[in-house]
Structure 1
């Protein structure tokens, strides 16, 4: 026997990816979908998988996910984005982990779709806490790049989530613009110094870190374009903060 599991997903107009997401977790004991006003087929897809669907206005990435977690019936929660899906190997690893979980949470690796291909093998994968005991966990509260904060030991699970993300360059640029605006509030309270120097130097550092050190050069031109957009995002974060301070 394993611990019962609630899969939690937040949605907004995600008909292109939600079907694959929910199909990969249909084995779970419960699927909870918290929607923020979808007008496409998102709700119909969620209903087709027997999900328990609730709706509320979007409260911010962290707060919205916390509200969805609070709706879960079971103690153990798997938190997924609507553009993520679990390969069969990951499903098996999660089920085994829930047979006797000795920790408060598990980190999972995430493999990224980069425009027209998966990131290359041997590229450094990001990892996030996504499987956790919700009585000992909470969302971090950040405007963007929100994460699960766990009160207790965390183990690394040998499992990978497939993240389809932005399907084209325009989508990734739009996300960089949106996220950099949201990050202004977070960074403004921490008052980083030398903003003009950061605008000049940090984009190059971000490009080298992403393209060379993390190994995205192995993905060819897809990796190069993604690294350039990442560097642009790094520039926007500090440029928008500088703009806010100049305006008072």
Structure 2
């Protein structure tokens, strides 16, 4: 054990195939807290076999921010490291985290939080273009400086103090290389995205708005961020993101249509 007083907080939901490797990558932490959101596979069995002592069962209707806040509430560490089940802390990142915490302890640095880059592995390949690198996520922070996490999807922490950046990266096995898994995630997340836009009073969807939204995504991924430089996988992922945007707006369209019918 390292005397850093660090708690690793791992969020899970049906992560049986990947959670063990995730836990292995943070086993050096002083404490591990797992926040599970209704897993129906053997995720919790794997977690318990690994020896994790603090397992929090999140409410059914909790969102990502709620679950991250639950993890912070249970954590005893002075520092919190948030890791998703499909992410891995490399040995290089581990050493940088330990060095960073040590610097704070000896007042060499005043940052109270750190954004960590991610190497996104999509369709079995690390993507460095198309907007996927460096993909900084704010995941390392002092517990006493964390105000709260906010946001239903793409949640962000509010921190009282300055935030720095680390150089070493998470490995992010996004969608685990499976199109079936990608599609299932898109189905789940698009409902949340559509609901957010609907609740915000988004203008009624029409042909122009559909085409405009998809063109913006295509331009950003393929032209501005040069997704084609990552080869076939980069191009496939860029087009998939255009499709994902379409599905989110199609969900919005469905909600708008239903709302109009209910008014009649």
Is TM-score (shorter-chain normalized) higher than 0.5? yes
**Match in the other structure for 1:125:** 134
Residue 43 of structure 1: aligned partner:
44
Change (3 A) 1:228 1:87: same
> Is the contact made by 2:129 and 2:225 (CA closer than 8 Å) also made in structure 1?
no
- 1:185, 1:62 → 2: CA distance? 17
Q: Which residue of 2 aligns with 1:235?
A: 246
Q: Which residue of 1 aligns with 2:8?
A: 7
Deviation at 1:228, TM superposition (A): 1.2
| Contact residue 139 and residue 148 of structure 1 kept, 8 A | yes
CA deviation digits over 1:191-243, x for unaligned, max 9? 23464333111112212212333343222121111111111111222222233
Greater Rg, structure 1 or structure 2? 2
CA deviations 1:19-63 (Å, max 9, x no partner) are 111111111000001222334332233224332223233312221
Q: Report if the CA contact (8 A) 1:90-1:160 is conserved.
A: yes
CA contact (8 A) 2:69 2:149 kept: no
4+ residue runs of structure 1 moved beyond 6 angstroms?
none
- Please report how far the alpha carbon of residue 121 of structure 1 lies from its aligned counterpart in structure 2 after TM superposition: 7.6
TM-score of the pair, normalised by structure 1: 0.91
**In 2, Cα distance between equivalents of 1:224 and 1:165:** 16
TM-score (norm. length: structure 2): 0.85
Residue equivalent to 1:170: 180
CA distance in 1: counterparts of 2:240 and 2:147, whole angstroms: 31
Stretch deviating more after TM superposition (58-67 or 190-199): 190-199
The 2-side partners of 1:170 and 1:231 are apart by 17
SS in 1 for 2:161: coil
**Aligned counterparts of 1:171 and 1:204: Cα–Cα separation in 2:** 25
Aligned residues: 248
The aligned counterpart of 1:74 is 77
Q: Alpha-carbon deviations, 1:4-28, whole Å to 9, x = none? A: 1000011122121111111111110
Output aligned runs, 1:1-248, within 5 Å: 3-51=4-52, 52-58=54-60, 59-101=62-104, 102-120=110-128, 124-166=133-175, 167-193=177-203, 195-196=205-206, 197-248=208-259
Partner Cα separation in structure 2 for residue 139 and residue 200 of structure 1? 37
Contact 1:144 1:182 in 2 (8 A): yes
- CA offsets per residue over residues 80-122 of structure 1, 9 Å max, x none? 1011001111111111110133212100001111112222489
Deviation at 1:79, TM superposition (A): 0.4
Structure 2 unaligned blocks of 5 or more: 105-109, 260-264
Aligned-pair CA distance for 1:159: 1.9
Task: Kindly provide the CA deviation profile for residues 140-183 of structure 1, in whole angstroms up to 9, marking residues without a partner as x.
Answer: 43221112222221101112010112121222122122111111
